[in-house]
Amino acid sequence: MFKTFRSLFLFVIISAAAFAQEGMWMLNQIDKLDLKKKGLQMEVSDVYNKQKPALYNAIIQLGGGTASFVSSEGLIVTNHHVAFTAIQRASSKENDYLANGFLAKNKKDEIKAPGYVARVLLEMRDVTAEINEAMKPGKDPVEKEKLRGQKIAIMKETEQKGKDDIQATVAEMFNGKQQYLFVYKLFKDVRLVYAPPFAIGNYGGETDNWMWPRHTGDFTFLRVYCAPDGSGSEYNETNVPYKPKVWLKTAKGNLKDGDFTFIMGFPGFTTRYRSSTSVDWNLNKNYPVSIKNFKDIIGIAESLTKNDREGAIKVSNLVKGLANTMKNFEGKVTAMNRTNFLQKKLDYEKDFMNWANGNPDRKAKYGTILAREKAEYNAIGDTKQRDDVIGLFGNLSGMQISVAMQIYAIAAEREKPESERQPGLEDAVKQTIDELQYTYNDYYEPFDKAIFIRTMQLTANLPKGQRVDGLSYLLDKNDFSIEKFANEAFASSKLNSMDFAKTLFTKSTKELIALNDPFINIAAKLAPVTEEAQMVNQRFGANVTAIRKEYLDAIFEWKGMNMYPDANSTMRFTSGNIKGYSPADAVWYSPFTSLTGLVQKNTGEEPFNAPKELLKLYADKDFGKWVDPVMKDVPVAFTHQCDITGGNSGSPVMNAKGELIGLAFDGNYEALISDWQYDFEKQRTISVDMRYVLFVAEKVGNAGFLLKEMGVSR
């Protein structure tokens, strides 16, 4: 932890000049970070510039992570785990690209990355004044939030009208203190080019996930295509490789301890300005429930697919995602308990309240903030057990019930007066229908049935006062058997057919009920309680966001120091030096791992089953030009002090000259509390070294032509 900080560090309110490593900074803030003094050897205006092309133009949001252009022909590189879903969807028992890897020897052989959209940032601008003006008539936070949504819908329509390849979004900074409009160009034709075998791209598996030392070749190459006129379009044989304004050049030199690095990417979500109430809620209520659910579902998947490779491929994407999040949550709980994080928050808030109550004006303005927020949490806590189970029906109880709930919810929403409907409903419906192909692609009936039975059992076991009354028509029957009902429902429902499901999106609730489909019947019975829970959570969200905005206003007034907004999937900048760390007393981790270390871990069994081609290269010392002159070995990964979180996966790591040196793919287990606080001593980004990426592509993948396309020479 920061040894010299008091409780102040818990809120990450920092002096930018003192700690360059901390902060996921907005692009329009980086000119204040004194980056030249910290080691940057290029102009800040060449990193981000509204007037001319700059490095940020090479950064792409892709598949829940980040990627970057690395050639003038639209070639992009990201993490293997970011491209995992595309590889999985393209795989089958006969063409197992997950296990064996994939290589397109020429552009004609490149295959579609199903469901992947590359989003390239065109513009960002502050629209705070416009949105605040639109929210003025609102009498309470819920009404203000509704007015905000209406204004945003108008803004999006203005930007997107007549442009199928443009997407506009509005993101809140500092809980609404600032509002920014982001405009993106969409490319819906993304194709797989080269993915290493699973035993390289996921070497170490969940055993090594979030751990250091790490030896994972976490990378994949893809390509962005566009229509001949340069517009983004769906997959089409007439499409051509996109020619980006800017692409990253791979570094020619080597890396060493202490080198300056920086990252641009799309970090997903952090909570560094939250109160003790939010910490307590997540530590003692949210994380434990999620960990238990994920562990159970992973166990079901593994037991049902142990001897079924086709089934294992189908469930692999879900299992990998759940396992990754589960270990992250476990790390957060461990770190919070180890550091007594909740008590430190309480101590900080005690100091805050002493300041707030220090004079009558501040007391009137800020004295009830924390108490009001706690009351909001208490309100949603009354039905949390029930709401947790209802949430499972929507996404972790099998495909049929999930699709049924989507279809019924859309029908119910359409039947509301237009003024009460969710903004952008029809766009959301279209997106849902478009994505059904991927939902059905991953369907594996034994698994889906098993997790449906699990959720029904959890529903039946809810305590009095938390019961889901809508399902009493089933659960209260004498001698009712959940297993028997599930078997009959899966046998009789037509929702295992995507074509049938698509026909239901235009039907009314009355027409849906008339079908007498067992899953739609459940969706209809759950609808009232689902809508009630949704309304409660919407009110909670609106109220607590308004309170958190007040809290940040108070922090600004109290401390008056530089701040960066919490991550929210918008492009951010972070920098720091290559550096090892001490995970425990008398232990020091070097910042580099090597091919020798990979071989030392090898057992021949998953997850440490390095491919024989890689082992032979090592045995023959056939390293080509990828040997580090100091290590006398091929470098695999490195740690550095950049500040990242989920969504940064695949982000390009650049050196002081803006050259590509690696791909960020993980954080370290000792600092998984990082979404809540930054830890200068322990927090590290783990990145795969581009020298290893290129070594594998050239020597294992026989993809040397990609290096030539990238202009790589050493």
> Which active-site residues does the annotation give?
81, 218, 649
> Which element (helix H / strand E) includes 135?
helix 128-135
- Residue 512 tokens read as 């849906």
Cα–Cα dist 690/684, whole Å: 18
- Give the list of residues 6+ apart from residue 544 with CB closer than 8 angstroms, or none: 373, 376, 377
SS3 for 600? Answer: helix
Contact yes or no for 81/220 (Cβ under 8 A): no
Q: Which residues have C-beta within 8 Å of that of residue 549, sequence separation ≥ 6?
A: 174, 175, 176, 177
Helix (H) or strand (E) holding 574: strand 572-577
Phi, psi of 634 (to 5 degrees): -85, 120
Measured between alpha carbons, how far is residue 130 from residues 147, 547, 568, 615 in Å?
Answer: 12, 21, 20, 60
Task: Decide: 260 and 577 in contact? Cβ < 8 Å.
Answer: yes
Distance separating alpha carbons of residues 677 and 631, to the nearest angstrom: 34
> What is the dihedral sign for C-alpha 56, 57, 59, 64?
positive
- DSSP conformation letters of 486-554: HHHHHHH-STT-HHHHHTTTT--HHHHHHT--HHHHHHHHHHHHHHHHHHHHHHHHHHHHHHHHHHHHH
Q: How far is CA 350 from the centre of its chain?
A: 34
Indicate the DSSP class of residue 651: P
214 by DSSP, 3-state: which?
Answer: coil
Helix 518-559 to helix 399-414 angle, to the nearest 10 degrees? 80
Strand bridging mode 685-689 / 59-62: unpaired
What angle (nearest 5°) sits at the alpha carbon of residue 307, between those of residues 305 and 308?
60
Length of the chain: 714
The type of residue at 621 is: K
Q: Is the dihedral of CA 123, 126, 132, 133 positive or negative?
A: negative
Alpha helices, H only, 222-308: 276-281, 287-304
